[in-house]
Amino acid sequence: MSKRKPVPSSSPNPAGPSRSSVQREHSSPAALQSNAALDIETDIPTDEPPIYSGPSTLPISSTRSTPSLQQSLIAGLPDLPWSKYQIPDSTISSDATTITTTHPLYSSDPNALETFLRSQASLPPKPRIRVLGRSDDGLSKDFDISVNMMHYLIQRGGQLQQWNYVQVDNESISGGKQKRSRSAGNVNNAQGDGLRDVVERFCDDKAMVKTFILTRRVVNWNTEYIEGCIRNLLAQISYRGQVTIQFPVQHDKIIVQSPPKGNKFLHGVASLFVENKKYEGVTAVWPYATLAPGGESGEAGERIFAVQSEEAWWKDWKGVVANAVRSKRRGWVSVEDQIELAMTPRG
């Protein structure tokens, strides 16, 4: 009789003012604890021996499947449960900032909505740095480059570690009758953050048109320092055109909208004359660091970074940005550009 091979196990994780703004907020180091294990499914055929695996605590499954993106370990790609970004019955705005879903359960079932919101709160938004250069007359574009900063919100390690937390502003939801509350450290912790109460009120609401808005917000990121470094660099390389530096954030707003009732066209016309009941005081906060830059929080303490300080980031990317500007690049600059720069001989 053949022996069953051990299978590696994993611990599954249960399940923005302006859209482009990056904000600052004080968060003490104690409140920013690691809160989620990487939600990656492993599905290894039982007829092949595992490589360097330990004993499994999960039952062996004979189901075979094609490896998905979230199962793949791709160098340079953040370890995230990417499939959770695929929201059912949803659309995305043209600027990729807002995702709207009309999935029926999310408007009627508190358990389904709470699970969905906590799952989405555990996913980071996609902040980026955009540097645009135009000619002096503003008519032609010299360069337009972007750097993805998403993975600088996620601590590196054997497991996914996040500092994010859920913040519920009951004052904005209930017209100033309650105080703000937040759950620090664990977006899956249902104790004390007030989310369940808001979810139940939304699902019980009989309004013809209602929306629930979850905002993902980046805080404690010193964008002023980065902008200053970029402008100094452009002056050093004698760029004389018009410069625009932006810090847009994509995937920063999730909207749950009640599905149309009956005829979609008639529902759409009727909704123009009916008030849209909005629940928009829930925020998934993503700190770049434990403290706002420059001690603006009013409290002393060491500023600890999720991944890397702004100064260290600029040291890594200064040469890449300079090369991209000189070559009049348009589009993303990435780790590949860092590799090319490192491998280019300097005479």
Profile the chain (347 residues) by mean pLDDT over runs of 10 residues: 46 42 53 40 42 38 41 59 93 97 96 97 97 92 97 70 82 53 53 84 92 97 98 97 98 94 58 76 95 69 91 97 97 93 86
**Phi, psi angles (nearest 5°) of residue 265:** -65, -50
- In angstroms, the CA 283 to CA 24 distance is 14
- Give Cα separations from 253 to 29, 203, 208, 283 (angstroms): 26, 19, 22, 9
Q: Which helix (H) or strand (E) holds 281?
A: strand 277-287
Half-sphere exposure of 227 (CA within 13 A, CB side): 12
Burial label, 130 (beta-carbon count in 10 A; 0-12, 13-18, 19+): middle
- 7 within some domain: no
Bridge partners of residue 285, in order along the sequence: 165, 217
pLDDT at 334: 93
Whose structure tokens read 């004080």? 26
- 240 within some domain: yes
What is the tally of structural domains in the chain?
1
- 196 within some domain: yes
- In angstroms, the CA 231 to CA 158 distance is 37
Whose structure tokens read 């104790």? 191
- 187 within some domain: yes
- 237 within some domain: yes
Q: What is the amino acid identity at position 329?
A: R
- Give Cα separations from 231 to 131, 132, 275, 294, 333 (angstroms): 10, 11, 46, 20, 18
Query: For the whole model, what pTM was predicted?
Result: 0.73
- 21 within some domain: no
pLDDT at 295: 63
β-bridge pairing 277-287 and 90-92: unpaired
Q: Which domain holds residue 191?
A: 88-343
Bridge partners of residue 255, in order along the sequence: 100, 213
- In angstroms, the CA 187 to CA 167 distance is 9
Pull the structure tokens for residue 230.
Answer: 């970029």
